[in-house]
Structure 1
């Protein structure tokens, strides 16, 4: 039988980590990388696995992710974020897929996003496909950009069962994460020497909320669209500050 390793990294994820790790306790190997947490994250991880590693909290999170992937020994690797959870249907599909993957070296997984108690079905939030399952040695991060995707050698297939995602614990979490990722986005544009699109945030809001019918998801759909607008606007402001404009 093919062996499955699950890799998760986290920084101060004490509140959400248990749900994530509980959902994959059936895997053959569970690897967790604690990125210099100051809360009880590592202690939570040790309740589920002995393979808990420490790593500095690199601002390019893909450096941390690749570190965890390199620690895995399974034939196949499933990478998760600590605010995600594997559903029972996805568990069963993963088990059957890695036994008979066909010509594929990796698989996209449809992710569904839970915004304050509601599963979003519109506004570009589902299916939010993520490349998460891959054969060991067939995928890696170049570790140049926090927003980069896994680079895969071989064919990529698609799974149908959903991966659950709980992106924000509360409103304060939205502000904290948006502040972090908007800084990285501004720094990337400056480093690449590319101008920051002036109207990208407004365009994304209009497309996701109206054209992709985000309004059908109630106030949570509106909140999701506004969060994206806030993120792009904040990144633009930081870009201007750093560029001296």
Structure 2
């Protein structure tokens, strides 16, 4: 039977680790990279049989995710975020997949839990993720936002969803949204986006999620989720425009 490593990075995820690491306990190895946490993340992580590493946090998330992948020693690697959970059904499907010949990686759907409910629309489901791959067959691309794996070989698909709980409480929500605002602003700067382009983005994002992707079918929670994304993207746009205006120009 092929072996599997689970690779996880975390920043101040103490409240989520019992669920995420508990769901990963069946793996042959868990690589855990603590990215500058100042809560009880290390104490909670060490309750499980993890290979623990401490690294500085980085807005370029792919850097620490690739570091975690590079430490893995098993035949297959599954990337698991600290606010996610592997269901028993997904665990069994993963075991069957890695034992079968053919693909070197797999995509899987992801269910997202917002405001006390699993969402089914607005881009929150199936929210397909590429997370499982043979060691040596994939690497993270150096992207500032929304890290992505490049795979060398055929990619299969799993049916069982990964479970995602984005925010443990309001404080966690504020912290993560501030981080997303920072990395999105950074991506605008790297691409030197125009002011009009970034100002239109929150409105097109809301229209796409709530109307085109049927977010309104999730009721009040669908609206609140789309509005939360709108506010985050708008905050990034306004911060970027302010920073651009303050940037010295060459004469």
Deviation at 1:173, TM superposition (A): 2.7
Task: Check whether the contact 2:110–2:129 (CA below 8 A) recurs between aligned residues.
Answer: yes
Which residue does the alignment assign to 1:235?
Answer: 236
SS in 2 for 1:173: helix
Distance between the aligned counterparts of 2:187 and 2:213, measured in 1? 28
Distance between the aligned counterparts of 1:202 and 1:60, measured in 2? 25
Task: Check whether the contact 1:105–1:155 (CA below 8 A) recurs between aligned residues.
Answer: yes
Distance between the aligned counterparts of 2:19 and 2:101, measured in 1? 28
- 1:18 equivalent to 2:9? Answer no
- 1:173 equivalent to 2:172? Answer yes
Distance between the aligned counterparts of 2:95 and 2:166, measured in 1? 26
Deviation at 1:48, TM superposition (A): 1.0
Distance between the aligned counterparts of 1:35 and 1:11, measured in 2? 5
The root-mean-square deviation of aligned C-alpha atoms, in Å, is: 1.4
Unaligned segments of structure 2, at least 5 residues:
247-251
Which residue does the alignment assign to 2:117?
Answer: 118
Which residue does the alignment assign to 1:59?
Answer: 59
Task: Check whether the contact 1:10–1:33 (CA below 8 A) recurs between aligned residues.
Answer: yes
Deviation at 1:24, TM superposition (A): 1.1
Distance between the aligned counterparts of 1:243 and 1:204, measured in 2? 22
Which residue does the alignment assign to 1:4?
Answer: 4
Distance between the aligned counterparts of 1:174 and 1:226, measured in 2? 14
Which residue does the alignment assign to 1:204?
Answer: 205
Which residue does the alignment assign to 1:221?
Answer: 222
SS in 1 for 2:238: helix
Which residue does the alignment assign to 2:139?
Answer: 140
Which residue does the alignment assign to 2:79?
Answer: 79
Distance between the aligned counterparts of 1:175 and 1:242, measured in 2? 22
Which residue does the alignment assign to 1:97?
Answer: 97
**Superposition TM-score, scaled by structure 2 size:** 0.92
Task: Check whether the contact 1:31–1:49 (CA below 8 A) recurs between aligned residues.
Answer: no
Matched length: 244
Unaligned segments of structure 1, at least 5 residues:
none
1:152-167 alignment, distance < 5 Å: 152-167=151-166
Deviation at 1:31, TM superposition (A): 1.1
Which residue does the alignment assign to 2:249?
Answer: none
Tell me: CA distance 1:206–1:31, structure 2 relative to 1, closer, same or farther (3 Å).
same
- 1:130 equivalent to 2:126? Answer no
**Superposition TM-score, scaled by structure 1 size:** 0.95
Distance between the aligned counterparts of 2:141 and 2:214, measured in 1? 35
Distance between the aligned counterparts of 2:176 and 2:50, measured in 1? 29
Task: Check whether the contact 1:179–1:234 (CA below 8 A) recurs between aligned residues.
Answer: no
Deviation at 1:144, TM superposition (A): 4.2
